[in-house]
């Protein structure tokens, strides 16, 4: 398999953060990127600007909310699915899937679920159930698969600076964590946690109360690997410097590196 650097980044408005995105792409040169929260219609997606720095793209936009995209360096992603199966009435742009550089990549933006309890939390759990059902077949594939995105789940208390401050938040509810664990129980590998089981690593810092300055973060952006992909995992990390740019997203890009040969 080709050596690959694969990243996920909740951009929180692609038009507003486009300079930050382009700077990051040119500096870090990821091979595959999953973007969430485009907050833009399909016609407003900056395909030409991305092409100018060497990235082909597919996208699934939506006005003001949601929106996902997959970028590929020096390649064009081959779309295989748009939207999760299981609810024909769900119009949210939250899932996009493509074959690129020899890997099948699912880009997802899981519902936030706040406030909970309530209909938004119910929708989060229903969407999670659809993901779990669909992921089962992907997990069993002989082809390398990566499910990357903003899962809006803090898997354990190790993944948050202070769980007491977020006890009522949908991201920490037992039901949310149980759904995430069910994905892992299928055989998916949480890349970053697999390589760094005991480190506090964050991917999101709220805009409020100086959370970035105090490193009061959460880990909610994940890259899950199926058994066909996990033996190639060699590195993982967070490009936290992006969070310190002017007018940043409240997330930082999270990435993995897959080696060209299986690790022993």
- Of 92, 101, 211, 251, catalytic: 251
Whether residue 264 lies inside any domain: the answer is no
Is 152 assigned to a binding site?
yes
CATH number of the domain to which 153 belongs: 3.60.10.10
Whether residue 26 lies inside any domain: the answer is yes
Q: 55-83 pLDDT, tens per residue?
A: 999 999 998 899 999 999 999 999 999 99
Q: Note the pLDDT of residue 169.
A: 97
Instruction: State the Cα–Cα distance between residues 216 and 34, nearest whole angstrom.
Output: 24
- Of 109, 180, 202, 232, catalytic: 109
Establish whether 222 is a catalytic residue. no
Q: Does the pLDDT of residue 1 top 90, yes or no?
A: no
Whether residue 263 lies inside any domain: the answer is no
Is 251 assigned to a binding site?
yes
Whether residue 142 lies inside any domain: the answer is yes
Which carries the bigger pLDDT value, residue 260 or residue 9?
A: 9
- Of 31, 150, 190, 221, catalytic: 150
Using DSSP's 3-state secondary structure scheme, residue 130 falls into helix
Q: 117-133 pLDDT, tens per residue?
A: 999 999 999 999 999 99
Q: 148-166 pLDDT, tens per residue?
A: 999 999 999 999 999 998 9
Using DSSP's 3-state secondary structure scheme, residue 73 falls into strand
- Which tokens is 100 given? 């690129």
Instruction: State the Cα–Cα distance between residues 55 and 74, nearest whole angstrom.
Output: 6
Q: Note the pLDDT of residue 262.
A: 84
State the average pLDDT over residues 86-107. Answer: 96
State the average pLDDT over residues 133-151. Answer: 98
Establish whether 109 is a catalytic residue. yes
Q: Note the pLDDT of residue 263.
A: 78
State the average pLDDT over residues 189-196. Answer: 98
Whether residue 114 lies inside any domain: the answer is yes
| Residues spanned by the domain of 62 | 4-258
Cα dist. 103→58, 72, 78, 139, 166 in Å?
15, 11, 11, 13, 36
Q: Tell me whether residue 52 is exposed, middle or buried, using C-beta atoms within 10 angstroms of its C-beta: 0 to 12, 13 to 18, 19 or more.
A: exposed
Is 12 assigned to a binding site?
no
Cis bond before residue 115 (omega within 30° of 0): yes
State the average pLDDT over residues 133-152. Answer: 98
With beta carbons less than 8 A apart as the criterion, state whether 252 and 28 touch. no
Is 37 assigned to a binding site?
yes
Establish whether 101 is a catalytic residue. no
Number of structural domains (the chain) is 1
């Amino acid at each position: 398999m080709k050596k690959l650097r694969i990243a996920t980044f909740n951009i929180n408005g692609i038009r507003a953060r486009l300079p930050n995105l382009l700077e990051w792409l040119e500096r870090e040169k990821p091979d595959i990127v999953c973007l969430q929260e485009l907050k833009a219609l399909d016609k407003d997606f900056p395909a030409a600007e991305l092409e100018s720095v060497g990235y082909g793209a597919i996208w699934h936009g939506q006005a003001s909310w949601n929106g996902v995209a997959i970028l590929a360096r020096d390649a064009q992603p081959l779309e295989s699915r748009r939207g999760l199966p299981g609810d024909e009435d769900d119009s949210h742009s939250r899932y996009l899937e493509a074959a690129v550089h020899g890997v099948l990549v699912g880009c997802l933006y899981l519902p936030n679920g706040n406030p909970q309890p309530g209909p938004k939390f119910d929708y989060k759990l229903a969407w999670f159930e659809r993901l779990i059902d669909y992921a089962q077949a992907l997990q069993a594939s002989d082809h390398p698969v990566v499910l990357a995105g903003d899962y809006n789940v803090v898997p354990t208390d190790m993944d948050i600076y202070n769980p007491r401050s977020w006890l009522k938040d949908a991201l920490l509810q037992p039901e949310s964590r149980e759904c995430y664990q069910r994905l892992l129980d299928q055989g998916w590998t949480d890349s970053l946690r697999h390589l760094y089981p005991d480190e506090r690593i964050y991917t999101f810092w709220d805009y409020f109360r100086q959370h970035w300055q105090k490193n009061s973060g959460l880990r909610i952006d994940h890259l899950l690997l199926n058994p066909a992909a996990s033996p190639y995992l060699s590195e993982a990390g967070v490009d936290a410097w992006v969070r310190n740019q002017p007018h940043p997203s409240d997330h930082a890009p999270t990435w993995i590196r897959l080696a060209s040969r299986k690790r022993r």
